[in-house]
Amino acid sequence: MAVTPAVETDAARSVTLRRAGVELVLDLASGYPVVLHWGAPLGDVDADALRALKDGGIPHSDLDEPVDPGMLRESARGFTGRPAIRGHRGATGFSPLFEVTAVTVRDDACTVALVDTALELSLELVLALSPEGVLLIDAALTNDGDTVYTLDELALWLPVPDRATETLDFTGRWLKERQPQRLAFAPGLRLRESREGRSGHDYTIVQCALTPTTTTEEGEAWGVGLLWSGSSRHLAERAVTGRAALGAGELIEPGEAELEPGATYRAPTLAAFYSDEGLDGVGARSHSWLRSRPSHPSTPRPVTLNVWEAVYFDHDLDTLSRLAATAASVGVERFVLDDGWFGSRRDDWSGLGDWVVSTDVWPDGLGPLVAAVREHGMQFGLWFEGEMVNPDSDVYRAHPDWILQVPGRVPPLARHQLVLDLTNPEAYAHVLEQVHAVISEHSIDYIKWDHNRFLTDPGHEGVPAVRRQTEALYRLFDELKDRNPGLEIESCASGGGRIDLGMAFHADRFWTSDQNDALERQQIQRWTSLVIPPEMLGTHVGPTISHGTGRRHGIQMRAVTALFGHAGIEWNLLEATEEELSALREWTAFYRAHRGLLHGGRVVRVEHPDPSAVVHGVVAHDRASAIFAYVQCTTTSGTTPASFRLPGLDPAARYRVRAEQFAEPATVQRRGPAWLDGLEVSGAALASVGLRPPVLWPEQAVLVVVERVS
């Protein structure tokens, strides 16, 4: 899209932004910002006509002249729901009323300047549509007065149409993250808060509004997510008028945003997604947007072995060297040494914070293991948990004041650890220098950065510090990368406890969940990838018997599940059978041959009529190829299972479809379906008639490969 020169006006009546099938119409005629429309392009409709279409007359019991609450939702204009900005100057300055003073417009963005002269505040809103159709909104609030202004909340809100009568968000816990909650968009406020000082296992990533007929494949969806990794709020409110809106913002601790005269608070960026192609359309926009970042990983995502569930704290050079050799033999490309290599860290009671190689476990340092790994052509990765400290550590004994705390008390322990105060320059420097020293000494390619507890009493010198702690971590990651070109960072927080759009701009990979059970992973991976592209999500083949559930799964089920992401292994391969190792070789070869599609195509979540099964896949953007998975979670409802569709292909093209098996899945039938060994058929038939799966035992999976032949 061509970008016109910026135009500044003092009295712009409306602004229309239109890009990639999304349109935003912002009404400024009344002197404050009102979103008249956010959704599909409306064609030749001007703002005056939109105002008339949205006019509801004057009902009894309302204001004499009812007004749209607009983006700021100010009570001073008669809005009785949750306002966008809440704050005060002591006992005064509690009710803002902003007026537009200037507007700067481009084809794809506009900046709106507003002032409240009575409260001595100024506000700048920047709204921009990315080339992918993602709406990005920034807000900056400045204290123009000569006394302190206390900001309690600044949330960014967008209205959704009346037909959006349902909400979708996500809940979870450790080992069971991102579980969907689809509810009626009822009157009142739905508030999802994260008060952990991180996004957390219960974090929703995106708050959606849907029509009743919206599915993963069809219908309209609106969603908002926050580019922020600290405490946050996601909100959905239907007012007494019947109108509904979505909002999100940082959760500001009491006193955390005390704006001195002249000071500015900059809210985390809001990303807003609209789709008329179902929830998969939301995902397609978000994936394309995140993939367009200059920092997005550009090299093929290596098959990764992490040794945590293989050896835990039992580090031994001979064992790990043999494990590295076996890993290389099955096609692993990156070997990651997990917790236990440093200080007094023989268990999780001590050593955190002392980022020096343990001479007890590694008398010759890490060099011999690094050399053994690299002799096999693999990258070497290392685990850190730099934001944490054990009381039983050298650094804590020397600096007990280097923790986040309320003065005069020590927070309760979680996993025998406390949180280092990275807003303290000395503590920050300690972590940066010790971590950098280890990375640079061994030219380490990759670090797994863990965060195994939430924040409690997160203060610095008596002042709340969640915001500054989050910014310090961003700064730390960026500086480690600047000092060590090519370094990649995985964000892990007891698994999936810090996966958010903010961290996506500082980390290269997320550990999706500590849950490696392939059955539990179905929903976790399905919904974590709604806005995070699969190449950023660690998906590993776990042990035969899951360490998280005790379930036993065959290699086919585990391998198919781990394929749809940044694939790897979390398993002691020295205990694997020759049959399992052979299957892993075939699996890694398949992954390497197809990761361009798996990490660059459009993710498809197929609506399947039988709830006993899950179907999903990835389709190339040119529709020349696709890979789908059919996963039998429980027993089928019929003696022959329901056919599953393969949508997203070219209806007029012919495709060869076949099953790919790394090991034989267990079935309950004398003969498998005719298509398993290969069949040529039209894309229209695959999307409509679909394929009849084998009659599988529960917790078995079939992988389907689709390639265009004409």
CB contact at 8 A, 191 and 118 = no
CATH at 537: 3.20.20.70
517 in active site: no
469 domain residue, yes or no: yes
What is the pLDDT at residue 9?
56
457 domain residue, yes or no: yes
Closest CA to 82 of 248, 225, 224, 265: 248
Closest CA to 676 of 653, 702, 696: 702
Residue ending a domain, choose from 231, 264, 291: 291
DSSP assignment letter at 579: H
H-only helix segments in 564-605: 578-598
DSSP assignment of 471-486: HHHHHHHHHHHHHSTT
Query: 325 phi and psi, to 5 degrees?
Result: -65, -45
| Residue 140 and residue 235 in one domain | yes
β-pairing, 379-384 with 625-632? unpaired
What is the pLDDT at residue 6?
53
433: CB partners within 8 A, 6+ apart: none
What is the pLDDT at residue 4?
39
| Residue 241 and residue 380 in one domain | no
Query: 110 phi and psi, to 5 degrees?
Result: -145, 150
Catalytic choice (445, 514, 517, 610): 514
3-state SS assignment for residue 105: strand
What is the pLDDT at residue 665?
85
User: What's the predicted TM-score (pTM) here?
Assistant: 0.97
CB contact at 8 A, 139 and 163 = no
| Residue 195 and residue 273 in one domain | yes
Q: How many domains does the chain have?
A: 3
3-state SS assignment for residue 636: coil
| Residue 274 and residue 317 in one domain | no
174: left (phi over 0), alpha (psi -120 to 50) or beta: beta
Residue 665: domain span: 603-708
Low-confidence residues of the chain, pLDDT below 70? 1-11
| Residue 86 and residue 134 in one domain | yes
Residue ending a domain, choose from 233, 264, 291: 291
516 vs 56: CA distance, rounded Å: 53
- Find the length of the chain: 710
88 vs 78: CA distance, rounded Å: 19
Residue ending a domain, choose from 598, 632, 653: 598
Catalytic choice (354, 421, 450, 500): 450
CATH at 175: 2.70.98.60
| Residue 687 and residue 645 in one domain | yes
What is the pLDDT at residue 636?
93
The amino acid sitting at 317 is: L
3-state SS assignment for residue 504: helix
DSSP assignment of 218-244: SB-EEEEEES-SSSEEEEEEE-TTS-E
Residue-wise over 152-186: b if at least 16 C-beta within 10 A, else e? ebbbbbbbbeeebbbbbbbebebbbbbebeeeebe
Beta bridge partners of 682: 654
**Residue where the block lists tokens 């510090």:** 465
107 in active site: no
